[in-house]
């Protein structure tokens, strides 16, 4: 199981109010096997569940801080998951990770066992 986000460690820099799309290319499994989640961690803060999409029925869940601004989607042909981020705010600045595991409405990182290396997103004010 391998997950690689948006260019593998490339820093993503965007202004507040802007948009950015992260991608997560998966190998070694399909989205029928595992759900995919997006998480983020800012310096000095705990890892936060951003969004996940269920392998069972395609249900999507979002954290309260990103609801209405972020959208998770999959391209099964490419075995890739995307996180479209709109109306970005400086508080969205964090390292973003994709992970494979079990998606529930709690977007609990402890239910995800395989992780990408993370990609830094910086939103300037």
Instruction: Give φ, ψ of 118 to 5 degrees.
Output: 90, 150
Mean pLDDT of the chain: 92
| pLDDT band, very low/low/confident/very high, at 7 (cuts 50, 70, 90) | very low
| pLDDT band, very low/low/confident/very high, at 75 (cuts 50, 70, 90) | very high
At 15-36, the pLDDT tens digits run 999 999 999 999 999 888 999 9
Note the helical H segments in 24-124: none
Euclidean distance between CA atoms 31 and 119, whole angstroms: 21
Euclidean distance between CA atoms 3 and 31, whole angstroms: 12
Q: Which residue has the tokens 């994709």?
A: 98
Q: Which two tokens stand for residue 6?
A: 């948006």
Q: Answer whether 1's CB lies under 8 Å from 18's CB.
A: no
């Amino acid at each position: 199981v391998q997950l690689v986000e948006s260019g593998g460690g490339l820093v993503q820099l965007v202004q507040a109010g802007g948009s950015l799309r992260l991608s997560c290319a998966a190998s070694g499994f399909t989205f029928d096997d595992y759900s995919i989640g997006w998480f983020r961690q800012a310096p000095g803060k705990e890892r936060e569940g951003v969004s996940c999409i269920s392998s069972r029925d395609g249900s999507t869940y979002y954290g309260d801080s990103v609801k209405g601004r972020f959208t998770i989607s999959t391209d099964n042909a490419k075995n890739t998951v995307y996180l479209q981020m709109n109306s970005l705010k400086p508080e969205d600045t964090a390292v973003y990770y994709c992970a494979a595991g079990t998606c529930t409405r709690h977007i609990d990182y402890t239910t995800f066992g395989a992780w990408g290396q993370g990609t830094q997103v910086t939103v300037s004010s």
